[in-house]
Amino acid sequence: MRNIFSLLVRYHAFILFMLLEVSSIFLIFNNKSYHRAAFINSSSVISARVFGIYNNFIEYLHLTEENKRLADENALLHSQLKSSFYDGTYQTVTVNDSASKQLYKYIPAKVINITTNKLNNYITIDKGKNQGVDVKMAVIGPDGIVGIVKDVSADYASVISLLHSDFRVSARVGTSGNLGSLSWDGSSPEFAQLDEIPKQIKIANGDKIYTSGESKKFPEHILIGTISSFTPNTNDNFYDIEVKLSTNFRSISYVYVVNNLMKNEQETLEQRSQNDN
Amino acid sequence: MIIEFFSQLLRFVVLVLLQVLVLNNLQLPGVFNPYIYPLFLLLLPLRMPLWLLLLIGFLSGLTMDMFANTMGMHAAASVLLCFMRPQVLKLIEPSGGYELTDKPTLSHMGFRWFATYASILIVIHHLFFFFLETLEFGQVGFMLLKIIISTALSLLLILLIEFFFFSRKSR
């Protein structure tokens, strides 16, 4: 017993070293899981507060640019209003539409911290549980998709950016083309990679890539980017496609969190039919 | 003693803020990832017991992890740096040994000594940190480039900061 004790005293630093390393590595692998949130991350009180205060200062530097972007977006939305379409039909039928129900709700949020040059990039936003943000909700920006909420605190949330090794989204070439899977290879914050588009499909540089309705998180037809180059993969039946992202992650400062109001219903249904099999 | 404690704390806060608000936000290509917060660990008192050094390293690493969403990676690298620190200090010990009043700073020990000291420990820290990052991504070529460029950049920044700001105060 005394031997063990003296051994502990003698090697206490080494034992402590091993203990701390093991717990660090435990934390790393615990955080790797896409669905499990780490218990300390950028949505936690201290770091989110620091980012928030800092953001209040530097926000002014980008005001002009941001106003222009918001104005552009407003113009685009205005042009989609019913009142801005010329009604060319002779006879109009008005349908009092009680069949359509709100499916997506958008929560506007301010980006208070964002990285683009890491291998796993995160975004911290200033809306959290109190404002209706919850984990696994989609985040989109004025120009296209941005990421998925990973963890929320009371008033902040940390978002897995599209520029993250775990990020996957089901995507479509054009509005009705083939389905593929979009991910990021870690090299450039301007490009992502689209996979699983079969070689026999005709695609061209400049083709637009949209979200498909397949993913329950993102609404359909949200722009992701355009094809900038593609090569047929020699090993399998698919193309390797480079997609130029429409969102500029280096300058984004406002985003919308998308709340799919019927996601629960869809998920329970799919769960149930899976269990039946 | 209390003054020493608060000056260390102040240095820690300054370096962490500089790291997370400025360096982590540089919109540079991915190979530029300088980390200057280890300077805080380099400048801790020479005779600090190893167990305390390890705990401080772990906590400061966790703080960085909290800001950078890299759960555990900075902590692991910082603990390794702290564990190696006494060995490196012994390796580059001046011929007469360290004096009681010596501090591991540029102004006290001279540029050559400090540059060697910082280089060895920063390389250890960065190698381990980027190694952990590669485990997740596995792009070896890109990572090698990143290690070389980022380590060089970190060292340059650390030497500059130490030269122009921190060591000036103690002169």
Taking contacts as CB-CB distances below 8 angstroms, the residues of chain A near B83 are 13, 17
Number of A–B residue contacts, CB under 8 Å: 113
The first and second tokens of residue A217, run together, are 């998180």
Q: Which residue in chain B is spatially nearest to A25 when comparing CA positions?
A: B72
Residue of B57, B47, B34 whose CA lies nearest to B160: B34
pTM score: 0.69
Residue in the block written with tokens 């997609």? A243
pLDDT for B53 beyond 90: yes
- Residue B72, sorted as left (phi over 0), alpha (psi -120 to 50) or beta, turns out to be left
Dihedral pair phi/psi, residue A205, rounded to 5°: -60, 140
**How far is Cα B164 from Cα B23, in angstroms, rounded to an integer?**
18
Query: Three-class SS of residue A213?
Result: coil
Decide if B71 contacts A27 (C-beta within 8 A).
Answer: yes
| Residue burial A197-217, b: 16+ Cβ < 10 Å; e: rest | beeeeebeeebbbbbbeebeb
pLDDT by residue, tens only, chain A of 277 residues: 778 888 888 888 889 999 999 998 888 877 665 445 555 666 777 778 888 888 877 777 777 777 777 877 876 776 676 655 554 444 444 445 555 666 777 888 888 888 888 888 899 998 888 888 888 899 998 888 999 999 898 888 999 999 998 898 999 888 667 888 999 988 888 999 998 888 888 888 888 999 887 777 888 888 899 999 988 888 888 888 999 999 998 888 888 888 887 777 777 888 888 877 6
Q: Do A118 and B30 touch (CB under 8 A)?
A: yes
Q: Alpha helix (H) ranges present in A11-92?
A: 12-32, 45-58, 63-79
- Secondary structure of chain A: what % helix, strand, coil (to 5)? 30, 25, 40
**How far is Cα A183 from Cα A242, in angstroms, rounded to an integer?**
10
- Of residues B69, B76, B79, nearest to A158 (C-beta): B69
Decide if A136 contacts A120 (C-beta within 8 A).
Answer: no
Dihedral pair phi/psi, residue A91, rounded to 5°: -100, 130
Q: Report the pLDDT averaged over residues B6-29.
A: 85
**How far is Cα A20 from Cα B112, in angstroms, rounded to an integer?**
32
Interacting residues of A213 by C-beta distance below 8 A, sequence separation 6+: A219, A220
Query: Three-class SS of residue B113?
Result: helix
Decide if A133 contacts A154 (C-beta within 8 A).
Answer: no
**How far is Cα A230 from Cα A194, in angstroms, rounded to an integer?**
9
Q: Report the pLDDT averaged over residues B145-150.
A: 88
Q: Which residue in chain A is spatially nearest to B51 when comparing CA positions?
A: A13
ipTM: 0.83
Question: How confident is the model at residue B96, as a pLDDT?
Answer: 80
Taking contacts as CB-CB distances below 8 angstroms, the residues of chain A near B81 are none
Question: How confident is the model at residue A147, as a pLDDT?
Answer: 93
Question: How confident is the model at residue B52, as a pLDDT?
Answer: 93
Question: How confident is the model at residue A146, as a pLDDT?
Answer: 93
Question: How confident is the model at residue A267, as a pLDDT?
Answer: 79
Question: How confident is the model at residue A93, as a pLDDT?
Answer: 44
Q: Do B68 and A24 touch (CB under 8 A)?
A: no
Residue of A82, A76, A85 whose CA lies nearest to A97: A82
Query: Three-class SS of residue A195?
Result: strand
DSSP readout, A81-110? Answer: SGGGS----SS-------S----EEEEEEE
Tell me which residues of chain B, numbers 46 to 105, contact chain A at a CB-CB cutoff of 8 Å.
50-51, 54-55, 57-58, 61-62, 65-73, 75-76, 79-80, 83
Rg from Cα positions in chain A? 23
The first and second tokens of residue A15, run together, are 């034992």
Residue in the block written with tokens 């180059």? A229
- Of residues A38, A117, A165, nearest to B136 (C-beta): A165
User: Which of B71, B82, B136, B137 is the best substitution to test chain A (most A C-beta atoms within 10 A)?
Assistant: B71
Taking contacts as CB-CB distances below 8 angstroms, the residues of chain B near A25 are 72, 76, 132
**How far is Cα B131 from Cα B143, in angstroms, rounded to an integer?**
8
Report the 10 Å Cβ neighbour count for B82: 30
